[in-house]
Amino acid sequence: MRLSVVVISYNARAVLHECLRRLTAYYPEAELWVVDTGSSDGSKAMVRSEFPQVSLIAVANRGYAYAVNRGLEHTQGAYTAVMNSDIYLEPGDLEALQQALDADPTAALAGPVLVTPSGRPQSFGLFYAPNYWKLRKPRPVSWLSGALLLVRRAALERLGGMDERFFFYNEDLEWGLRARKLGFKNLLVPRRVLHLGGASTPSDPRFIAEGYRGGLILSAEYYPWLHSLHRKAVWLEAQLRLRFDKNPVRRKGYRLLAAWLARENVNESLFF
């Protein structure tokens, strides 16, 4: 088996259907897995009835990293693509990532330039933007978006799966940092791939707190000299947002964040 694909989905039936239609058409020889994280919209029944060639794993919703790891446990391919259900592939997309890994045996992970429906590169913050500049060949970067990446099995055996302390956000960043710490490269490939974005992300204020929690785990793990200052900065931002932010959902999120910070346990998620 050369290629395995793990698709993570939650309550995104229509989007998942199109994702699988493309995968089964463009990669009929691949080992295909869907990890459903507790959907209630008929996604599982749709996969079973309309895509019998796709293997389905139903798990509790314990976060993206948890779902990815349950899928990786079943794959057998020399390369495994991990992707969200709102990634719409075109022919040649995964081949471009595989070619990048084949050309550099020191690389563990490869990912494309994700673009929004408007055609613009997806933003991952001010500090990530320079990675896109004059990108004409695969470029080593600190981390790659977990919305779509290809991992080499030989590297995965050393790297291990995603860190399940992260419920949502930052798990891909940690994977990339860990890969670099082990001496591997993460390659950003100049291949544009459509990412709808947000198809499985509900408007839940806990996600605000979860994003900051993940960042604090990262600073404690990889930048311990910065962690204390980072925690104080997050606390200050939470206080300012509570005072001045007019959006009720964001205010609730920062209220949850402030309460969570008072408990002083970065490994304790608001989701479980």
DSSP 3-state of 229: helix
CB 65 within 8 A of CB 162: yes
Q: What is the pLDDT of residues 29-81, one digit of tens each?
A: 999 999 999 999 999 999 999 999 999 999 999 999 999 999 999 999 999 99
Q: Binning pLDDT at 50, 70 and 90, where does residue 28 land?
A: very high
Q: Is the confidence at residue 202, as pLDDT, over 70? A: no
- Whether residue 71 is contained in a domain is answered as yes
Q: What is the pLDDT of residues 179-193, one digit of tens each?
A: 999 999 999 999 999
Q: Is the confidence at residue 199, as pLDDT, over 60? A: no
pLDDT for 201: 58
Average pLDDT over residues 206-230: 93
CATH (domain of 182): 3.90.550.10
Q: Strand pairing partners for 87?
A: 195
First to last CA, the chain: 36
Query: Across the chain, what does the average pLDDT equal?
Result: 94
Asked which of 163, 195, 227 is the last residue of a domain, the reply is 195
Distinct helix (H) and strand (E) counts, the chain: 9, 9
pLDDT for 191: 98
- Whether residue 210 is contained in a domain is answered as yes
> Distance between CA 73 and CA 199 in Å, rounded?
25
The answer to whether residues 210 and 159 belong to one domain is no
The answer to whether residues 176 and 224 belong to one domain is no
Distances (CA, A) of 62 to 69, 110, 215, 217, 249: 11, 25, 18, 17, 22
* Ramachandran sector of residue 79 (left: φ over 0; alpha: ψ -120 to 50; beta: rest): beta
Residues 6+ apart with CB under 8 A from 70: 35, 57, 59
Number of domains composing the chain: 2
- Whether residue 238 is contained in a domain is answered as yes
The answer to whether residues 138 and 224 belong to one domain is no
- Whether residue 268 is contained in a domain is answered as no
Q: Name the residue range of residue 216's domain.
A: 206-263
CB 74 within 8 A of CB 55: yes
Report residue 5: phi and psi, to 5°: -130, 130
Distances (CA, A) of 93 to 36, 109, 130: 23, 15, 22
Q: Tell me which DSSP letter residue 256 carries.
A: H
